[in-house]
Structure 1
Amino acid sequence: MSDLKYDEAMSRLETILAELEEGKKSVDELADLVKEASALVKACRNKLKTTEEDIKKAFDGA
Structure 2
Amino acid sequence: MSDQIKSYDAAISRIEEIVALLESGEKGMDELSELVKEASNLVNQCKEKLRSTEEEINQALNNN
The alignment's C-alpha RMSD in Å is 0.9
TM-score by length of 1: 0.95
In structure 1, stretches of 5+ residues that fail to align are: none
In structure 2, stretches of 5+ residues that fail to align are: none
| Structure 1 residue ranges, 4+ long, deviating more than 4 angstroms after superposition | none
Higher relative contact order (CA 8 A, sep 6+): 1
What is the aligned residue count?
62
For 2:29 and 2:5, locate their aligned partners in 1 and report how far apart those are by CA, in whole Å.
Answer: 28
Shift of residue 4 of structure 1? 2.0
TM-score by length of 2: 0.92
